[in-house]
Amino acid sequence: MSVGVIVGIQWGDEGKGKVVDYLTQNAQYVVRFQGGNNAGHTVVVDGKKFALRLIPSGILRENVCCLLASSVVVNPWAFLSEIADIEKTGIEIKPNRLKLAPEVQLILPYHQAIDEARENQRGAKKIGTTRKGIGPAYEDSVGRHGIRVCDLFDQAKLRALVERNIKHAKEYCSKVLETNFDINAQEQIEQLLQIAQKLRPFVCDVSRELTAAIAAKKTIVFEGAQGTLLDVAHGTYPFVTSSHTIAPEACVSAGIGTKSIDYVLGISKAYCTRVGGGPFPTEEMGKTGDQIRTTGNEFGTVTGRPRRCGWIDLPLLRRAIRLNGVDSILLTKLDVLTGIDILKVATHYEYQGRTMVEPDWDTDLEKVQVVYEEFLGWKEDISKATSLFDLPVNAQTYLQKIEQYMGCSLSGFSIGPERSQTIVYSNHVREIFGLTK
C-alpha cells in the first residue's frame, strides 16, 4: 500500500485527528513526527470522545501500531498518564501497539517553568503558547544539551545532564525571567530513573521499523500536529510553535529518506481559526465570528481557550499547499457554516498598491487589505450527507469555487465530529489509504 502524510494547512485544529482516524481503517502504522502534548486531537467514535495529545490517533484502531518519531518532544508523565487514560476506556496499550524513538527529546518540569515564566514576562506581547514547555525543550535539543529517551538508560549521563540543566534553568529564570522555581535535581533524577523502567518497553528504532514496513508495502499514515502556519521556519514567525510542522519533517523525523512519501493530504477547515497571538487577516470579530465559535465549539482541547474565528483565507492556503507539496485537500467542519446567510472567501489581498494572490516574504499580514468574494449560504442540515451530491447547491458551489481558486483539488469533506461523518470521494485517495468504507 502507501505512505501518506496528513498535515494541517492553517493554524492547527483543522480536524487532523478525526481524519487520521477515518483514514486508518485498514492501515498498519500511524506516526506522530513533531510537536508534543501541545497538540489536542479529538476523535469521536460512536458518540465516545477521545482527546489525544501525544498518542497517535491510530490507537483507536486495533490493528494499528503507533509510533512517536525522533522530532516529537515527550513529557514522560503526560505520556504515561495519557496511556492510563486511554486504557481506562478499555483499549489496551501494549508495547507492540505504541513505540517511541530513542532520540525523542524529553520535556521536563524546568521546560514548563521557563515557558510559563517567559509568557508571563512578555505580558501583552505573549505568544500565547500552551505553556507545556514545548519551546524550551526544542531549544535544549538544538542547543545539544537536551535529555533524550535513550539518555534515561545511562545513569551517569542522566545525572550529569539533569544537574547541569536544572542549574542553568534556575539561573536563567532568576536572573533573566525574574522568577524562581522549586525543582530539586536529585529528586528529579530519582523520578526519571523510575520512569526509565516504564518507558523502556516502548523504545524502538523507528527508522528501521518503518523502512521494513515500507518495503513490506504496509499502509503508513503520518499524523501532523499543529499546522503549516505555525511552522517554526515558514509560519507566522514569531507567533509559531517551535517545530517544523510541514510534511517534509515526516521524513526527517522518522529517518526514512525523502522518496518514501506517496501522498500529502492537507486538512483545512471550511473557515479558519487560530489560538494564541499573531496575525489573522480574515478574523471575524463580530457576531458571525461568535456564531462560528459557538456552532463549531471552537474552544481549545488543550487549554480551553476560545479560538479566534474567521473566513477561509486562500492566499495563505496557496502558500501552505506549496510548502507541503499538498496533493489534495480535505475540508472539515462544513456543517458549521450551515445557517450563515452570506459566506465569505478571501480570494486575494491588496497590499501597498498591489494585488496579491499569495503573501510575499515581506508582506505584513497585520496590514493587508483582504478582498472577499461572497457566497450564498444554506439552511438545510448537511450532517447526514454521504456524498457531494447530497449537499445543497450552495454548499456544492462553495466547495467548487474554493477548489478552483485555490488551485488544488478537494478529495473530500467532513460534516460532523463522528468518524462516520467524513466523506472521501477521490478514488485515488481511497486507494492510497486502502479505504473500504
128 scored as a contact of ligand IMO (CB under 6 A): yes
Query: Binding segment for ligand IMO among 91-99, 186-194, 222-230, 352-360 (CB under 6 A)?
Result: 222-230
Q: Per rule CB under 6 A, is residue 44 in the interface with ligand GDP?
A: yes
Please give the full DSSP string across 3-68, using - where no structure is assigned. Answer: EEEEEE-SSS-SSHHHHHHHHTTT-SEEEE-SB-TT--EEEEETTEEEEESSS-GGGGSTTPEEEE
Phi, then psi, of 109 in degrees rounded to 5: -55, -30
- Between 71 and 347, whose beta carbon lies closer to ligand GDP? 71
Contact set for ligand GDP, span 418-437 (CB under 6 A):
421
Taking 3-state DSSP, the helix, strand and coil percentages for the chain, each rounded to the nearest 5, stand at 40, 20, 40
Residue at grid coordinates 471575524: 284
> Using CB under 6 A, which residues numbered 4 to 63 contact ligand IMO?
8, 11-13, 38-41
- The pair phi, psi for residue 264, each rounded to 5°, is -120, 115
Is the CA virtual torsion 419, 420, 424, 430 positive or negative?
A: positive
Options 41, 234, 244, 348, the catalytic residue: 41
Residue 412: in which H helix or E strand, if any? Answer: strand 410-414
Pairing between β-strand 220-223 and β-strand 3-8 as defined by DSSP bridges: parallel
Distances (CA, A) of 90 to 57, 60, 62, 84, 86: 15, 10, 12, 10, 7
Kindly tell me which residue out of 7, 10, 11, 14 binds ligand GDP, with binding defined by CB under 6 A. 14
Antiparallel, parallel or unpaired: β 328-332 and 312-313:
unpaired
414 binds ligand GDP (CB under 6 A): yes
Rounded to the nearest whole angstrom, what is the least distance from the CB of residue 341 to ligand IMO in the complex?
A: 29
Binding partner selected for residue 332 from ligand IMO, ligand GDP, Mg ion, none, CB under the kind-specific 5 to 8 Å limit: ligand GDP
- Joined grid coordinates for residue 38: 501541545
Active site residue 41: yes
36 binds ligand GDP (CB under 6 A): no
Of residues 56 and 146, the one with the C-beta less far from ligand GDP: 56
Q: Which does 336 bind (CB under 5 to 8 A by kind): ligand GDP, ligand IMO, Mg ion, none?
A: ligand GDP
Say if residues 112 and 132 touch (Cβ distance below 8 Å): yes
Q: Is 296 in the site for ligand IMO (CB under 6 A)?
A: no
Query: Per rule CB under 5 A, is residue 224 in the interface with Mg ion?
Result: no
Residues 281-310 that bind Mg ion (CB under 5 A): none
Contact flag: residue 135 with ligand IMO (CB under 6 A): yes
Considering the rule CB under 6 A, would residue 412 count as an interface residue with ligand GDP? no
Of 40 and 56, CB closest to ligand IMO: 40
Measured over the CA atoms of residue 371, residue 345, residue 263 and residue 237, the dihedral's sign is positive
Q: Which of 13, 21, 119, 249 binds Mg ion (CB under 5 A)?
A: 13
Is 244 marked active-site?
Answer: no
Closest CA to 220 of 63, 428, 5, 71: 5
Residues that bind ligand GDP (CB under 6 A): 8, 12-18, 40-42, 44, 297, 301, 332-333, 335-336, 414-417, 421
